Amino acid sequence: MIPFLFAVHSHQPVGNFGWVFEKAFAESYEPFLELLAEYPEVRVGLHYSGCLLEWIEDHRPAHVDLLKSLTDRGQVEIIGGGYYEPIFSAIPERDARAQVQTYFDHLEAVFGRRPAGLWLTERVWDTSLPALFHDLGVKYTLVDDSHFRYAGLAPEDVWGPFIAEREGKGLVIFPIDQKLRYMIPFHEPEDSIAHIRERAEKHEGFVACYGDDGEKFGVWPDTHEWVFEKGWLERFFRALTDAKDEIRTALFSDYLEGAEPRGRVYLPPASYEEMMEWVLPPALGRRLEDLMEELKEEGRWDELAPFVRGGHWDMFLGKYEEANRMQKRMLLCSSRIADRKDAPPEARRALYRSQCNCAYWHGVFGGLYLNFLRHALYREMLEAEALAGLNQGLTIERKDYDVDGYEEILVSAAGINAIVSPRLGGSIVALEYPQKRFSIGNVLGRREETYHGKLAQAAAGQDADTPKTIHERVAAKEEGLEKFLVYDRFPRVSLQDHLTSPGITLEQIEKEQAPELSSLAGARYQAAVDHGRVTLSRESACGEATIKVEKTLRFKADRAGFTADYRIRADRSAGGPPANAAGQRPAPQFPDGKLSARFGVEFNLTLLAGDEPERHYLLNGARPENPTMIGRGAHEDVTSLELVNGPDGFAARIRASAPARLFRFPVEAVSQSESGFERTYQGSCLWLTWPLKLAAGESWSVALDFDFLER
């Protein structure tokens, strides 16, 4: 008898739209469970993330009743996990323990029995996990067979339960068969049965193990028709039932009662194979893809696969600065809640929701590129801090919160939160309105991705009789996406300074072709903090001139905003500009005795929806042409700019003491999701610019007021 351990993991992230929950439930979770109930000899381990189970309990309680009945008759085993699907290595240990403990308690209350196993989020393994899970009473978890190959085991020996150990504490781990994971449900059921038989013939005592996303059964593109309407799942359950004398599905905890572990194993930090490809920077990602394809064409992949691997999940925090800032903001929130011993349980629950993994990384799935998922995590952090009674009054603190080796300046108040980075142009890298639980600075930059080279293939389309896995599927949601492949030179932050040519155009700014006459944007500023003021300054060469920019940010405890006072001074450089290798010197920057340039202050802000009429601009109190957040334009004599967020009941207003020429455009990135390539609105870029004509020794100044207003 060949035991077949079958696990299905279902999840919807914190912040996903209600209609997505509805659709996924109707097209996958509900029909899967109803059909499973008709085949009582098919036993399955089911994991629902806490985010999803809470929704089901509130909106589809009959589904929970069916789950209870299937667990009572021994057909289904509920598998636990971290309550809100955190990556365990990315959150504090105190929160990891609480997430597991709280969810296991909840599952025991709902189903009448405590889970024995844990679904490991994205199968991200860390060497500290055996001790952590052992202490929490977890008996087993599942990881990919590739984890074992990276540990030095021969592929043919990777099957059955092993024991992972840390500090003398053991945890049973089951390797998921990657070939089964790719076959189910994209090959006929007989192919999976044949694969299990073939492996069992080679190994006495062999046990097959499968574990993967429930969304493969109806939510992924084209799978609902294939799995349910064309009967794949029913054929699969029938095939397992018919083969029960040879291959018998079993629950993990039941199997463990009589099983003997195959030995200890020490796994390196890893995730599933695809994840470790996605985390690589584009150049290395393409090289890895080419190498893997080359080895497969040569028939050498099975032999060399143990020696070929990508990166590690944590490097998403290195690849995407925005992901790192969000994760470090979550850690900051966690430490603040931990220090507040009287913080109510609701505050801690909001913190745990902010640790939901999906928005912290990006692969085939949208994840980080979905601004509403990032927004949801920031919303939960701000909710947690509000419930804990934090941010009462003005505090300004110097701290390297994002662990980049440089101090940032953290400003917290009831009306506004800001994080100022002297390293990145003296800019504001985080800007929050706590009262509305809104992070308006939550903008993701445009950057190269490994898959951007596949856009031409996507335009050609694909035809197939059976659905493709999301790892094989290549499609585009609209034509002409190639023209949106523009990559940002500087981070998408606010109060970023530019000294550029007098004739700068919107097209140059949008396409990252604006000439920078001086090194201000993204450069290091000097910083000083004193009594609610943050002063940032930088001197930089500009041809034969020297430019000194000084900006002073003034915050108050009773104001939901700040004032930025700018002062710019021009001087001649001592000795003039250096000559190049040919002995040529740059053109002088003082024609007619004056420095001639254009000074710009850049803001990157988001109201989340780009094309919703109730989220729009007001320029000098009036709506411009194309007023929504995806509107573009160049506007003269702007002294007041508002971003009006009708649905959330507030506006962000910028007022300038001198009329400015405003350039505005949407920041739109090309990303990949399970349904194909798509253009995603990340935020809106605003350049307020003024002409500069300064003689040596002259200065110019302007003041900008930024305020959140109730609307």
169-176 and 140-144 strand pairing: parallel
Backbone angles phi, psi at 629, to 5 degrees: -70, -10
Secondary structure tally for the chain: helices H, strands E: 21, 26
Burial tier of 489 (Cβ tally within 10 Å: 0-12, 13-18, 19+): exposed
Cross-strand partners of 480 = none
What Rg value do the Cα atoms of the chain yield, rounded? Answer: 28
Structure tokens given for 568: 């710019």
Question: What distance in Å separates the CA atoms of residue 689 and residue 150, rounded to the nearest whole number?
Answer: 54
Q: Which of 213, 516, 539, 707 is labelled catalytic?
A: 213
Handedness of CA 276, 279, 280, 285 (dihedral sign): positive
Is the separation of the CB atoms in 435 and 651 below 8 Å?
no
DSSP H helices, 499-602, are: 506-510
Task: List the one residue out of 296, 486, 291, 449 whose CA is nearest residue 364.
Answer: 449
Q: How many CB atoms lie within 10 A of CB 672?
A: 27
213 belongs to the catalytic site: yes
Catalytic residue among 122, 321, 402, 449: 122
Cis previous bond, 185, omega within 30: yes
What stretch of H or E contains 371? helix 371-387
Task: Please give the full DSSP string across 48-115, using - where no structure is assigned.
Answer: E-HHHHHHHHHH-HHHHHHHHHHHHTTSEEE-B--TT---GGGS-HHHHHHHHHHHHHHHHHHHSS--
Please indicate whether residue 242 is annotated as part of the active site. Answer: no
DSSP assignment of 317-366 equals HHH-HHHHHHHHHHHHHHHHHHH-TT--HHHHHHHHHTT-GGGG--SSS-
Q: How far apart are CA 340 and CA 328, in angstroms?
A: 18
Helix (H, G, I), strand (E, B) or coil at 314: helix
For 20, the enclosing helix (H) or strand (E) is helix 18-24
> 349: closest CA among 129, 124, 115, 101?
101
165 neighbors 128 (Cβ within 8 angstroms): no
Structure tokens at 705: 């007021």
Collect all residues with Cβ–Cβ distance below 8 Å to 174 and sequence separation of at least 6.
5, 140, 141, 142, 143, 160, 161, 209, 211, 252
DSSP element (H, E) containing 703 = strand 699-710
Catalytic residues: 122, 213
